Structure 1
Amino acid sequence: MTEPVLIAGGGPVGMMLACELGLAGVPVLVLERLAAPNERSRGMAVNSAVVELLAQRGLMESLAGDGFEFPRAHFAHIFLDPERLGTRHPYTFAVPHSKVELRLAQRAEALGVTIRRDAELVSLDQDARGVTAVVRAADGTEERVGGSYLVGCDGGDSAVRRLAGIGFPGVDSAFHGITGDIAVEGGDKLFELLGFHQHDAGFFTVAPAGPDLLRVTTGEFDREVAPDTPLTRDDLYAALERITGIGLDTGTARWLAHWYAPTRQAERYRAGRVLVAGDAAHVHFPLGGQALSTGLEDAVNLGWKLAAEVRGRAPEGLLDTYHAERHPVGARACRTTRAQMALMHPMDRVGPLRDVFTELVRLDEVNAYLVEMAGGLDVRYPFACPDGAAGAEPHPLLGTRLPDAPLVTGDGATSVYRLLHSGRGVLLDLSGAGAPPAPSGPGVRRRAEAAAGWSDRVAVAVAEPTDEIGAAALLLRPDGRVAWAVADAAADASPATALRTWFGAPTAS
C-alpha cells in the first residue's frame, strides 16, 4: 500500500491540498495541532482568484449560504471598480475564512482523507524512500508516522519549514493590529463607523460579522506589541482612540486577536521529500485576500503534480516546477503588498501620492491592472510554445487560467470549470464540432487521437466556438492553466509534446 502524503496544518491551504490529492486517489493524512476546528477567522472575505479556484472544483456551491458576493476591490485601500473590466471574472466573496476551511475539510473527508487533530509535528527525518514525522499529542505522548512526502501548510512559524532547514528571509515591519468581534445593540455608536477609515497613525475598519455583531479591526504603524500580550476590549478601543481620537465604551468583546505585518518568503519550496505551501512559504501584509489566494493557488498547483509523482506517472522534473512556478508569484505578492503598505504610511507624506493614485484608477487600464493584481487574476506562468510552428509566438493564453466561460457540447450545456471538477487535464476543442458528442472533423479527430494515450489523465471535450475564449483548441492542466493552444481550427498542430511535458508518457495500448 502506498504511504500517505502527510500534510502538516489543517487550515484552508492544507485542506485544499488534501482535497486535490484525494481527488487524484492519493492517500492523505492531515496532521493538525489544534484539537478542534477553528471557528474564529481574521479574514472575512476571499478575492476573485479564490472564487475561481474553488469554482474549478465545484466547491463554491457549498459556500453559497455562508456569504455573499460584492463588486469591490482595493489597492492600499484606494477603491477600484471590477465592473469596468468588461471580462468574465467573479467578484470578491464575503465569507469568513473559517467557513472556507470547514467546507474544504468536509470535502476532504468525503474524498477519503484522514484528518488527525491534536497532533503537533515535532521532528522529521527523510530519505530517498519517504518521510518519517514524530507527532505529539496534547498529553505528551509521541508517535512516529511515515509518509511518502510531507507538505508544511502550518503557517508563518512553520515547524516543517524549520525542521527541513529552509530559510525564511524577509523584514518585520514595526506594526501592530488588533481585530475583534464586538457584540452590540441596535443603534450603537459603532454603527456610525461602518466602513474603512485611514488616518495619520493607522487605519481601522468596522464591518458586520453577524446579527448584532461587528468586526472591528485596527492597524497602527510604528508600534510593536508582543504576540503573547493579553488583549481586552479596552485595548481595542485604546488603539481606536490613538488612531482617530474617538473614545468608545460600548459592546462586549466576543473574540480578540493580534495581527502583524511581516514580509518573508521561503528560500525554496522543496527540500527533497518535504515541501511548503501557503503561509509556511510566504507571509505578507494581508491586503485584499492575497495571502489566501496565493496559498490556495500553491495548493492547486502542487496537488496534481505531487499526485502524479506518488503514482509514478510524473514526467521528469514535474515536481520541481512547483517551486519554479510558485516562488516568483509569492515574491511578487510580497512586493505588491509592501508597495501598498508604503502607500498607507506616513500619511503626511504619502497623502499626495494617494491622491494621484486615486486619479489614476479612473483610467480603465490602470483600474484593470490593479483589480487583476489585487484579485490574484494576473498570474501567468512563462510556458514554452510546444508543438508550435518554428519561430511562432506563444499563444497569448499560454500559462493563464481561463475564466469560467459557458460551453455547448454534444451532451448539452456545460462550462470550463465544470470540465475541471474531476481534477483531470482537459483537451478542449472549440472548432465547431456541433451536436455529435463524439469528435468529428479532421482537426478534431487528429487532436483527439493525439490525446488517446492519456485518456486516464486527460479528458477530451468538444464544444462549439465561443468568443469568450480566443482559441480553437486548448490543453488545460488540472490546475486550469493553459498548457497548449492554437488559434486556427485547421492548423496542423498536435498537443502531443505538451501532453508528454505535463502528463508523462502515454499509456501503452
Structure 2
Amino acid sequence: MHDVVIVGAGPVGLFLACELGLAGCSVLVVEKEADPDSPWRSEPLGMRGLFGFSTGAFYRRGLLDALVAASTDLSRGRDTRTATGEPSGPPPIGHFAGMVLDPALVDIETLPFRLPSPAPDFMVTSLEAVESLLAERAVKLGVDIRRGVTVDGVTQDADHVVVSADQGEFEARWVVGCDGGRSAVRRLAGFDFAGTEPQATGYTLLGTFADPEKLRPGINLTPTGMYLRMSVEGHIGMMDFDGGAYDRSRPPTRDHLQTVLRRVSGTDVTLSDVRVASTYTDRAKQATTYRQGRVLLAGDAAHIHSPLGGQGLNTGIGDAVNLGWKLAATVRGHAPDDLLDTYDQERHPIGAQVLDWSRAQVAIMRSDRYAQAAQSVVRDLLGTEDGTTYVFERVSGASIRYDLGSAHPLVGRSAPNFLLGDGTCLGELMRDGRGVVLDFSADRRLSGPAAAWRGRLRHVSGTPSDDLGLGAVLVRPDGAVAWTDVHDFATDGFERAASRWFGHPQAA
C-alpha cells in the first residue's frame, strides 16, 4: 500500500509528487495518457507563463535554474513590433481582459515586503519543460509514475482508499485528484462542483494562412469578440461569445474556424489549412470542498475557469505547494490534528478569487455596448501606475495572503528572500522541504524549546542585509510566513506558532 496515490501526471500532480517524495513518502502517480509527448504540451501550443508565486516555488526547491535552462529564450525571435514596425518596448507581463499590461507602469517598490530574488516576476515556459523537469525529479525521489492507466473507481473507508483502474487496483492511505477539469476522481468520489456556465467558446489553432498580414499581432478586442495572433506564425486564439454552444459539440473544421475568425477579426482572412485545433469555454466552477475524507483535489480538478490571464497553471502549482508538506506531515504522523484541513481553508478562497477574476474579464470582453463602455474605463485605469500595479499584484500572486490569525501584515504572505551575512538566501535554505526559523537577533545555536523541532525546522541565525524591521521569522515549507517577532527571538510566541504548524515537539 502506498502512502499517497496521485491521479494525473501534469504539472500539479508531478509537483505534488516531488513534495511528497522529498519528505520520504511512498508515492504512486497514475496518468491516463500513455505518451507524454503532445503538440499541446510543447512549443508553441504548450507555452505558459509563470508568475512570481510559482517561480518562487521552483526556486525554493532548487529547480529554477533547470527550468530556466529548459525554457531558454522561448520568446526569442518572436515579433514584438507594433503595427508600425517600431519596437514595442519590454515584453508583456500579462493582460487583463485582453488589455496588455505595460511593465513600465508596474511600481515594484509598492509590492509588499519585497526583497531581491533570483525568482523572476514572470517567465515563459512550456508544459513540456515543466513536466519533464518535475517527472525526472520525482523519479529521483523514488516516485513511481505509471502512464496509460484509466481510473474508473474510487472507494474509501476510515483507513485507506482504493483506486480502481483498467490495470488493476491501487491501495493508498490518501488519494489526490490532479486529473484536470474533467476529473474522474472528483466525479467518482462524489465532490460537488458548482459555479457558472459559459458565455463564450474559445478556440486555439495552429494552421496556415494565405494572408496573415490581415491579422494584427497580439491581443485584439473587437466589437464581435477577441482574437490573438501569437508570435509563432499560424498560431491563433479567439473567443466567440456564443454562450459556449460550439465547445465539444463537434470537431472544429477549417470552414468553421475561418468563419469565426472572419467574424471576430472583421477581416476576410483566408485559413488555408489546420494542423491542430481545439475548443474551450469560460465555464467557471469549483469543488465546494477540496477534501472528502481521504480524497483530496488540486489544480483543475478542484477549479476550472477561462485561461484568460494564465492563472490556471499558477493556481494549481500553489495548490500543490500548499498541500504537499501538510499531507506529508500527516502521513508521517507528526501533523497537528487539523493541519490537513487548512489546505481547503487557505486554498479554496484563492480559487474562488481566481474564478471571479476570470468572470470579470469575460464580462468586460463581451461585445455588447455595456461591456465596451466598461472596457474604456478599465483601459484608462490600466494607463495609470496604480491601476497596472494593482492588476499585476493580483495576477503575479504578490497579493496572496493566507489568514493565519496574526495582525502582522507579513504573516500569511510569501516570505521575502532574506539575504544573510554569509551570502546565503532564504530560498536556498528551503530545498529540503523543511520549515525555516530565521533569528536576526544574534548568532547562536538552536537551543531550548526550539530544538524540539530540529527534525522539521532548520534554524539559522545571523544578520541579514535587510531585516525589514523584524527580529525573527518562522517560514513554513510552502514559503508562507507563519510567525514574526519584531524585537527578538521570543520563545513563547515561537512555541505557539511551531506547535500550530509542525505539531507537538514530542511527536517527532
> When the two structures are superposed, what TM-score results if normalisation uses the length of structure 1?
0.87
2: CA distance between counterparts of 1:64 and 1:284?
27
Aligned residues of 2:334 and 2:507 also touching (Cα < 8 A): no
Selected match of 1:427 from 420, 423, 437:
437
User: Aligned with 1:264: secondary structure?
Assistant: strand
**Partner residue, 1:169:** 194
Contact 2:247 / 2:280 at 8 angstroms: preserved in 1? no
**1:315-394 to 2 correspondences below 5 Å:** 315-385=336-406, 394=407
What is the correspondence of 1:387-466 to structure 2 with a 5 Å cutoff?
A: 394-405=407-418, 407-409=419-421, 412-431=422-441, 433=442, 439-440=443-444, 449-466=448-465
Partner of 1:293: 314
Amino acid at match of 2:278: A
Q: Structure 1 183/27 Cα, relative in aligned 2: closer, same or farther at 3 Å?
A: farther
Could you tell me how far 1:270 is from its partner in structure 2? 0.6
- Structure 1 71/55 Cα, relative in aligned 2: closer, same or farther at 3 Å? farther
Q: Deviations over 1:305-330 (max 9, x none)?
A: 00011111111111111111111111
Change (3 A) 1:190 1:10: farther
Q: CA deviation at 1:249?
A: 3.1
SS at match of 1:291: helix
Residue 281 of structure 2 corresponds to residue 260 of structure 1: yes
1:67 Cα offset (Å): 4.3
Contact conserved, 2:404 with 2:412, CA < 8 A, in 1?
Answer: yes
Q: Which amino acid aligns with 1:112?
A: G
Change in CA separation of 1:302 and 1:76 when aligned onto 2, cut-off 3 Å: same
Residue 219 of structure 2 is matched in structure 1 by 196
Shift of 1:91: 2.6
Per-residue CA distance 1:232-265 (angstroms, 9 max, x = gap): 4443332210101223335653321111111101
Residue 220, structure 1, aligned to residue 240, structure 2: yes
When structure 1 is superposed on structure 2, of 10-19 and 97-106 the one drifting more is: 97-106
- Aligned mates of 1:105, 1:195 — CA distance in 2: 33
Q: Any residues of structure 2 matched to 1:237-316 within 5 Å, and which?
A: 237-249=258-270, 252-316=273-337
- Which sections of structure 2, spanning at least 5 residues, go unmatched? 76-90
Structure 2 CA distance for aligned equivalents of residues 403 and 45 of structure 1: 25
Give the letter aligned to residue 171 of structure 2. G
Quote the residue 2:48 is aligned against: 45
How far has the Cα of 1:370 moved from its partner? 1.4
Select the residue among 172, 190, 196 that pairs with 1:147.
172
Amino acid in structure 2 at the alignment position of 1:62: A
1:113-124 pair list within 5 angstroms: 113-124=143-154
Residues 448 and 263 of structure 1: CA distance in aligned 2, closer, same or farther (over 3 Å):
farther
Distance 2:449 2:94 in 1: 43
Provide the rounded CA distance (Å) in 2 between the counterparts of 1:488 and 1:190: 63
Q: Distance in 1 between matches of 2:249 and 2:238?
A: 18
8 Å Cα contact 2:214/2:269 also seen in 1: no
Which of the numbers 141, 147, 156 marks the counterpart of 1:111?
141
Query: What is the identity percentage for the equivalent residue pairs of Structure 1 and Structure 2?
Result: 39
Q: 1:215 to 1:416 in 2, by over 3 A?
A: farther
CA distance in 2, matches of 1:265, 1:419: 35
Contact 1:47 1:288 in 2 (8 A): no
- Write the letter of the residue equivalent to 2:219: F
Deviation at 1:103, TM superposition (A): 1.6
Q: Which structure 1 residue ranges, 5 or more long, are not aligned?
A: 137-141, 386-393, 434-438
Aligned partners of 2:93, 2:321: CA distance in 1, in Å?
25
Residues 1:166 and 1:492: Cα distance change in structure 2 (over 3 Å)? closer
Q: 1:43 to 1:345 in 2, by over 3 A?
A: farther
Closer, same or farther in 2 for the Cα pair 1:254/1:428, shift >3 Å? farther
Relative to structure 2, which stretch is displaced further, 216-225 or 143-152? Answer: 216-225
Alpha-carbon distance between aligned partners in 1 of 2:14 and 2:179, rounded to the nearest angstrom: 11
Structure 1 vs Structure 2 CA RMSD: 2.4
How far apart, in 1, do the equivalents of 2:15 and 2:507 lie? Answer: 32
CA distance in 1, matches of 2:506, 2:489: 27
Give the number of aligned pairs: 476
Q: 1:489 to 1:50 in 2, by over 3 A?
A: same
8 A contact 1:67–1:93 mirrored in 2: no
SS of match in other structure, 2:315: helix
Task: Tell me the TM-score normalised to structure 2 length.
Answer: 0.88
- Distance change (3 Å), C-alpha of 1:101 and 1:500: same
The whole-number CA distance in structure 1 between the counterparts of 2:476 and 2:57 is 13
Deviation sequence 1:424-448 (CA, Å, 0-9, x none): 10001233x4xxxxx33xxxx5x75
Q: How far off its partner does 1:465 sit?
A: 2.8
1:164-203 CA distance string (max 9 Å, x none): 1110011121311111223679xx6259632111112211
Letter in 2 for 1:500: S
